[in-house]
């Protein structure tokens, strides 16, 4: 094998087995896929050590992918429960799972995740640094952070969020911005604190070449984290966010120079009227690299319903260039999500992704909608349930208040528009009072 990464292979004109699998899944030519990988516009996060992986492509012209965040915290350290969430996420069709555990020795859980997950696996090494190194934040050295990155890569992680863009220049812009919610990125806030306490440059920025060398060795895709993403609609598209984005654009080309695949992460919280422009701006500044968004959440007043505010923003973002949606659950801003929250978050994110695929004219995206519409015309409930994103819930709703005639539902009964029109077109009479 004369390549280390998917990007290097594509640049050498080699179609890898992962490229062929993705091409078959997406229904596109492998050569076309390879060309877009070579240009940096598509990534296939696929660490060779993740042997249970079913490869997925993320980027230009492909179906929109969704990510599920999970992992333990100091207040909720039940690894068995997190593995249940993993199983649920895979069953519901999540394309990737990010282990955001930030408590204790997480390597055992991560190893179990990698052994069992056909979905891509991502991590944020910054979250694991204190537990892995058994040092408090101020005692961690720049080189220590690199040790954690290498440990995750050796386990088989496919992509990592690295907050390399929050350097001293970006921090100065943030400090002068007078934000309402300051820094809301967990990893970003920890790096900011480390920089301020030590007086040093961001270690992921200062030693970026060494970071890339590690990622290249294991073909780990770098997901350039947006430490200064807006945490409220008040702060969106401010100088801090844009200053970091400019840094991320430069870091993107530096990674490509070392044959490392790149994704770029984006906002955050953002009013609907700003989303399309932000997607265009990111793609331009970051040279068409795949864009990975958290939300965006389009309002700040819906705790308990942020899976909905996120799905609204995610659909708009993906219809305007975002390639990868990070799900948000109803528990966002409130607590660690439980199994029910995870399901609600995944379904909401899948709706947003699919709606965007339709809007973007992705080949085949409308087919299942057309099948559902045909089943509705024929009032074939079993077919409708089989086509639904959550057929179990659809069936439960239907059967919770069953109609007297299964050729309708309990909302419209005999006045069902489908039933009425079908009868007329079949040459039958419509009699509402005396019909049995």
Identify whether the C-beta of residue 135 lies closer than 8 Å to the C-beta of residue 109: no
Strands 262-266 and 291-294: parallel
Q: What gap in Å lies between CA 227 and CA 274, rounded to an integer?
A: 19
* 376 contacts: CB under 8 Å, gap ≥ 6: 384, 418
What is residue 29's predicted lDDT score, i.e. its pLDDT?
A: 98
Q: What's the pLDDT score for residue 434?
A: 65
Place of tokens 């993320």: 58
The one-digit pLDDT tens for each residue of the chain (436 residues) are: 799 999 999 999 999 999 999 999 999 999 999 999 999 999 999 999 999 999 999 999 999 999 999 987 766 668 889 999 999 999 999 999 999 987 766 888 899 999 999 999 999 999 888 888 889 999 999 999 999 999 999 999 999 999 999 999 999 999 998 999 999 999 999 999 999 999 999 999 999 999 999 999 999 999 999 999 999 999 999 999 999 999 999 999 999 999 999 999 999 999 999 999 999 999 999 999 999 999 999 999 999 999 999 999 999 999 999 999 999 999 999 999 999 999 999 999 999 999 999 999 999 999 999 999 999 999 999 999 999 999 999 999 999 998 887 778 888 888 999 989 999 999 999 988 865 5
Q: Give the residue numbers of the binding site for substrate.
A: 69, 98, 127, 163, 185-187, 226-229, 265, 292
In the block, tokens 């007043």 appear at: 301
According to CATH, where is 3.20.20.540 located in the chain?
6-359
CB 237, CB 230: distance < 8 Å? yes
Q: Which residues contact 322 (CB under 8 A, 6 or more apart)?
A: 64, 266, 279, 291, 292, 293, 314, 356
Q: Which two tokens stand for residue 393?
A: 């819930």
> Do 405 and 418 meet the contact criterion of CB atoms below 8 Å apart?
no
* The two three-digit tokens of residue 88, written as one number: 């649920």
Is 207:246 a contact under the CB 8 Å cutoff? no
**Which residues carry a binding-site annotation for [4Fe-4S] cluster?**
409, 412, 416
Q: What is the pLDDT of residue 130?
A: 86
Domain 6-359 has CATH 3.20.20.540: yes
Q: Is the dihedral of CA 213, 218, 221, 226 positive or negative?
A: negative
> Which two tokens mark 363?
């080949």
Task: Classify 182 in phi/psi space as left (phi over 0), alpha (psi -120 to 50) or beta.
Answer: left
- Distance linking the first and last C-alpha atoms of the chain: 72
Q: Which residues pair with 291 in a beta bridge?
A: 264
Return the number of other C-beta atoms located less than 10 Å from residue 342's C-beta.
25
Element (H, E) at 24: helix 17-26
How do beta strands 120-123 and 324-326 pair? unpaired
Annotated binding site: 69, 98, 127, 163, 185-187, 226-229, 265, 269, 292, 333, 409, 412, 416
For the whole model, what pTM was predicted?
0.95
Question: Annotated binding residues for Zn(2+), as ranges?
Answer: 269, 333
């Amino acid at each position: 094998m004369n390549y280390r990464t998917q990007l290097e292979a594509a640049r050498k004109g080699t179609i890898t087995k992962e490229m062929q699998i993705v091409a078959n899944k997406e229904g596109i030519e492998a050569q076309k896929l390879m060309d877009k990988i070579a240009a940096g516009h598509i990534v296939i996060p696929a660490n060779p050590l993740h042997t249970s992986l079913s490869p997925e492509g993320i980027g230009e012209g492909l179906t929109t992918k969704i990510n599920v965040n999970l992992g333990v915290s100091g207040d909720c350290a039940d690894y068995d429960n997190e593995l249940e969430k993993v199983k649920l996420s895979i069953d519901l069709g999540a394309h990737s799972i990010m282990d955001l555990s930030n408590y204790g020795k997480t390597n055992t859980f991560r190893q179990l995740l990698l052994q069992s997950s056909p979905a891509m696996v991502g991590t944020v090494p910054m979250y694991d640094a204190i537990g892995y190194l058994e040092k408090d934040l101020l005692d961690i050295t720049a080189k220590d952070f690199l040790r954690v990155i290498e440990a995750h890569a050796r386990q088989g992680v496919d992509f990592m969020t690295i907050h390399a863009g929050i350097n001293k220049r970006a921090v100065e812009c943030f400090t002068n911005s007078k934000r309402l919610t300051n820094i809301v990125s967990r990893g970003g806030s920890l790096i900011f604190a480390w920089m301020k306490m030590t007086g040093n440059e961001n270690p992921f920025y200062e030693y970026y070449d060494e970071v890339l060398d590690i990622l290249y060795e294991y073909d780990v895709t770098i997901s350039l984290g947006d430490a200064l993403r807006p945490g409220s609609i008040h702060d969106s598209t401010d100088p801090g966010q844009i200053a970091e984005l400019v840094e991320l654009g430069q870091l993107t080309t530096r990674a490509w120079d070392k044959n490392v695949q790149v994704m770029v992460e984006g906002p955050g919280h953002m009013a609907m009227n700003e989303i399309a422009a932000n997607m265009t701006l990111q793609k331009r500044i970051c040279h068409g690299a795949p864009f990975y968004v958290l939300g965006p959440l389009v309002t700040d007043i819906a705790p308990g319903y942020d899976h909905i505010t996120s799905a609204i923003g995610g659909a708009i973002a993906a219809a305007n260039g975002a390639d990868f949606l990070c799900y948000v659950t109803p528990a966002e801003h409130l607590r660690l999500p439980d199994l029910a929250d995870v399901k609600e978050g995944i379904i909401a994110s899948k709706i947003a992704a699919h709606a965007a695929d339709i809007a973007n004219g992705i080949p085949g995206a409308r087919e299942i909608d057309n099948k559902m519409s045909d089943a509705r015309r024929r009032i074939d409930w079993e077919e409708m349930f089989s086509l639904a994103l959550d057929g179990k819930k659809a069936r439960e709703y239907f059967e919770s208040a069953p109609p007297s005639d299964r050729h309708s539902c309990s909302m419209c009964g005999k006045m069902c528009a489908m039933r009425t029109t079908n009868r007329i077109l079949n040459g039958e009479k419509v009699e509402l009072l005396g019909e049995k």
